Amino acid sequence: MLENVACVLLDGVHPFELGVVSEIFGLDRSDEGLPVYDFAVVSAEGPDLTTHVPGLTVSTPHGLDRLEEADLIAVPASDRNLTREYPPELLDALRRAAERGTRVLSVCSGVFVLGAAGLLDGRRCAVHWRHADLLARQFPRAVVEPDVLYVDEDPVITSAGTAAGIDACLHILRKEQGPEIANRIARRMVVPPHRDGGQAQYVERPLPRSTCDTVGEVLAWMEQNLQEEVTVEQLAERAHMSPRTFARRFQQETGTTPYRWILRQRVLLAQDLLEATDETVDAIAWRTGFGTAAALRHQFYRALGTTPNAYRRAFRGPQAA
């Protein structure tokens, strides 16, 4: 039963991520028949901490011993979480907590603390898409999922950037106390109780460029002719290679196959058109080479976990759809 929640802070904590955990688990909503948690903000580095916001500090009387009685320990993002040494006593406390079955939740870059404690070894985990490569390099035994909002690898739960912490906290409520409690708290916060898709739809989208020039001219032609239906044989002929050699060189220089590369570029173009134009989904499907709206919807959902219309609403508002 979820009754006791501790939110442990490091110097440079991000107020929003702290606020997410505090809003969901720290407020008394007993007047609405909702559960009340024994909630405490805990400092891992002294009673007074700086925050990500200049001039704003946080003070708390609770030290790390408070973690020993918690059913859930949350680690929000910190401005200095990525490349620093963490207090050994904090890492020991997190390891002991996981061993006894206490759930440990990270919000955004708080996952780096969990990695330093060894809690990501052999586990899938989520993090803000900007930090995914660094997390994978720093903790090679972790299985980083760069496209999702959160990952539940009980007792370790990790979430991506900022608002994805809300999704993860509501997931914990839904799991521990049922969908009615989670839905009522979400309604009180005026947020969706469950969001479709993942963070892939929010990733910045620079077009990849080949670091070699063997297939560079073909890549440039493909980018300008995404609406064309082409075969490996036709692309190989354009590159003056055999199909087998071309396919091998393409894989070496782009890290993927011609088919998958074209699909990805078509989805990227569709994203740009959905954000920047009022063209219909049918028109965008034709311009991007998918041919039909059904084919566009299928590939768009496979790549981003959402539909073209939902994506347009998210980035341009309901009136755009």
Rounded to two decimals, the pTM is 0.69
Q: Which pLDDT value is given to residue 213?
A: 60
Summarised one tens digit per residue, pLDDT across range 93-149 is: 999 999 999 999 999 999 999 999 999 999 999 999 889 999 999 999 999 988 888
Burial class (CB within 10 angstroms; exposed 0-12, middle 13-18, buried 19+) of 321: middle
What tokens does 240 get? 């003056």
Q: Which residues of the chain have a pLDDT value below 50? A: 206-210, 212, 321
Q: Which pLDDT value is given to residue 319?
A: 54
Fold entry, domain 4-200: Rossmann fold (3.40.50)
CA-CA-CA-CA torsion for 19, 165, 79, 75, nearest 10 degrees?
A: 80
C-alpha triplet 40, 44, 49: angle, nearest 5°: 85
Closest CA to 135 of 115, 150, 118, 156: 115
| CATH 3.40.50.880 domain position(s) in the chain | 4-200
Q: Which pLDDT value is given to residue 318?
A: 57
Closest CA to 14 of 155, 115, 152, 165: 165
| CATH 1.10.10.60 domain position(s) in the chain | 216-320
The yes/no answer on whether domain 216-320 falls in CATH 3.40.50.150 is no
Who's near 274: CB < 8 A, 6+ residues apart? 284, 308, 311, 312, 315, 316
Q: How far apart are CA 286 and CA 269, in angstroms?
A: 11
Q: Which pLDDT value is given to residue 180?
A: 87
Summarised one tens digit per residue, pLDDT across range 277-297 is: 889 999 999 999 999 999 999
Where would I find the beta strands (DSSP E) of the chain? 4-9, 38-43, 48-50, 57-59, 72-75, 103-107, 124-125, 143-144, 150-153, 156-159
